[in-house]
Structure 1
Amino acid sequence: MDTSRPASVSKPAARLDTSACPVPAWLPGGHAQTLYGAFCAQHPSIHFARERVDTPDGDFIDLDWCGPGLDPHRTADGQATAHESSLVGTAASRWANDGDWAALPAECSAVILFHGLEGSSLSPYMQAMAHAFRQQGWVVVAAHFRTCSGVPNRMARAYYSGDSAEIAFMLGHVRQRLPQARWHAVGVSLGGNALLKLLGESGHDVPGLRAAAAVSVPMDLPACGQRLSDTFSGRQLYSRYFLHSIRRKIFDKAQQFPGSVDVLRTQRMRSLRDLDDLYTAPMHGYLNALDYWTRAASFPLLPGIRVPTLALNARNDPFVPEASLPGSRDVSPDVLLHQPGQGGHASFVTGMFPGNLHWLPARLLRFFQSGQ
């Protein structure tokens, strides 16, 4: 476990909610809940209009939009559109155009969603959240980290858990699109760590952001990295799953940028520590996996958060050791910690068989609407 946490000092304690997520009895244990939520639980299907935004360093990110007045299957002037061939295999049906921004309500509630490792707007938790917020009349933006929208990005770098600057850039862009909207942000897992890191670094200086939520976040990255790299389930189940797609992306990067990646070594990766030692850390300015985990972790920055924030972590999350979760004295009083006993990682399945993913977005909406 990371030993660099700040010592507890005398200050107002944050709120701690331990109320249960009503996971069904037929789905016991964090592994089952995580895997079932990712691959089997029922969730709505929602489509988007996609915007491509150039970044200051010459790359791009893709943002998927939906909301009142924006039809992903029709242009702003009402013309039906076929699913654009460049977007096949994604949750976006067409490219956004200038008329779409005028069609969206100027004053509205809006949320930007940041996915986890190897996620996208197609991920079940992203689909469930986008659908629930859209049903309540919100504008929704599903943001993609580089390489995750289904298209290779332009640069050798990709994305990583500590990239708070990328979060800030995306928040700034959507605020420019809808400057009068009441903006909120949700980050899941890796995306949640980067969001919390930004909030902790920025304090009050997060323009236009009303509230935020972080779901299933590995705030203590060294502890979580060790869990996923050193345990049998971490190496043989979760690391193997993530590395399947990441290896392919790294190989493509090596073809695109000869000499930037040692392909032979990366082909021998067996854990997330291997990935971060051989690719993530050196590609993004860190010495090795431990240096990356330590410097990118949001945990030490939690006391600096001044935006109302919900931090939701199930205590049986197989990615996040329970002992690594923050207590009420480890975070700012502006943070509400919700730590139910059950729920797994980015899952929180509820309901009768075959189960659904309704509980998570309902919990987020409750926080954003009432602060509870």
Structure 2
Amino acid sequence: MPIIESTYKPPFWAKKSFVSTVFSGLARRVNGVMQTRERITLEDGDFLDLDWSYSEKPSHKVIVLLHGLEGHAQRPYITGTAKLFNEKDIDACAVNFRGCSGEPNRLFRSYHSGATEDLEAVIQHILTKGQYSEIYIKGISLGANMALKYSGEREQLPKELKAIVAVSSPCHLKGSCDALMSLKNKHYAIRFLAHLKDKLKPKLEQFPQDISVTDFNAIKTLIDFDDAYTSKAHGFKNALDYYEQASSLQYLPNITIPTLIINSLNDSFLSAECYPVKEAKQNPNLYLEMPKYGGHVGFINKGNVYYNEKRALDFVNQL
């Protein structure tokens, strides 16, 4: 499809990428979302915690929400979407990836950008409820890459899955990692790495045969982390192999359902490869919107309803 011309206009104070990104991540609050937790057991014996919120009347529609790196289902970028969709008679299932719900997961492995087998388990679980004839997926950042990969790598999708929305998507993981590790993003990279290492630390005692203290102490950068842990724990040769195999960019030509990507042009976490203009022009199911502003998941708008949240609702309602 042709590239969508964005109508997003941020408040004057939120035009800078750093301001919109940090405000949205640290200062935004969303109230009034009542979540009910459901735990599902996965085939490998691990678990996922799903945080459900519901519309006032019974609904046959549900949106599956996927968070970003070291996020969880209570982040405002998740609850903001859940609240808006609930108000419009659509249920929301906010997924906590393995180890992200406040309780460590059981296995040495955890989650990563391409772990679509866990998303598949969530979709199949929702289908067993027999309630929902329309399912949408909205992914943020890491979750956006996962949603796009899920929809593009499968020859057949459930007929109930009607649309995908991907926001601030690092479609090209190596490029995005390089961007994140650049000098201008050093403060973000340090913060992410600290969280990741804190979560990995208990696994040193739990799984000493899989990772040593020496390996752990050698982790100084995000690529080091993906070399020492992410790749090894999830069946990849090394960090570069993980980035190559898990990137959604290569799967975009295969997407067969309406899919909207919203990546702002001033998102400092994204590299040039994360703006799939060619793929969008060649695939009639793929819509690419590139607002001038918005930073990384920072589409601040009036009334505490973010632009990407309203766009997601409009997109699924047009189907």
Q: More deviation in 266-275 or 332-341?
A: 266-275
1:38-77 matches, cutoff 5 A: 38-68=25-55
Unpaired runs of 5+ in structure 1?
A: 1-13, 70-103
Aligned-residue offset at 1:323: 5.0
Shift in CA distance, 349/68, structure 1 to aligned 2, threshold 3 Å: closer
Using the aligned pairs only, state the percent identity. Answer: 33
Is 1:120 the counterpart of 2:72? The answer is yes
Shift in CA distance, 274/233, structure 1 to aligned 2, threshold 3 Å: farther
> For the aligned residues, what is the CA RMSD?
1.8
- For the residue of structure 1 that corresponds to 2:270, the secondary structure is coil
Aligned to 2:244: 294
Aligned to 1:130: 82
Aligned-residue offset at 1:344: 0.8
- For the residue of structure 2 that corresponds to 1:65, the secondary structure is strand
- What is the CA–CA distance in structure 1 between the aligned matches of 2:33 and 2:192, rounded to whole Å? 24
Shift in CA distance, 279/336, structure 1 to aligned 2, threshold 3 Å: same
Contact 1:212 1:308 in 2 (8 A): yes
- Selected match of 1:335 from 262, 279, 286: 286
Q: TM-score scaled by structure 2?
A: 0.94
Aligned to 1:242: 192
- For the residue of structure 2 that corresponds to 1:222, the secondary structure is helix
**AA in 2 matched with 1:363:** R
Contact 1:276 1:289 in 2 (8 A): yes
Aligned to 2:20: 33
Q: Deviations for 1:283-307, whole angstroms, at most 9, x for unmatched residues?
A: 1111111111011100011000001
The structure whose residues are more often helix, as a share, is: 2
Shift in CA distance, 144/28, structure 1 to aligned 2, threshold 3 Å: same
- Selected match of 2:228 from 278, 281, 292: 278
Q: Deviations for 1:179-227, whole angstroms, at most 9, x for unmatched residues?
A: 4431111111111111111111114433410111111110011111111
Aligned to 1:367: 315
- What is the CA–CA distance in structure 1 between the aligned matches of 2:84 and 2:110, rounded to whole Å? 30
1:127-276 matches, cutoff 5 A: 127-229=79-181, 231-234=182-185, 236-276=186-226
- What is the CA–CA distance in structure 2 between the aligned matches of 1:357 and 1:253, rounded to whole Å? 39
- What is the CA–CA distance in structure 2 between the aligned matches of 1:114 and 1:130, rounded to whole Å? 11
Q: Deviations for 1:224-252, whole angstroms, at most 9, x for unmatched residues?
A: 111112x1133x21111112221111111
- What is the CA–CA distance in structure 2 between the aligned matches of 1:292 and 1:247, rounded to whole Å? 18
Unpaired runs of 5+ in structure 2?
A: none
Aligned length: 318
Q: More deviation in 325-334 or 269-278?
A: 325-334
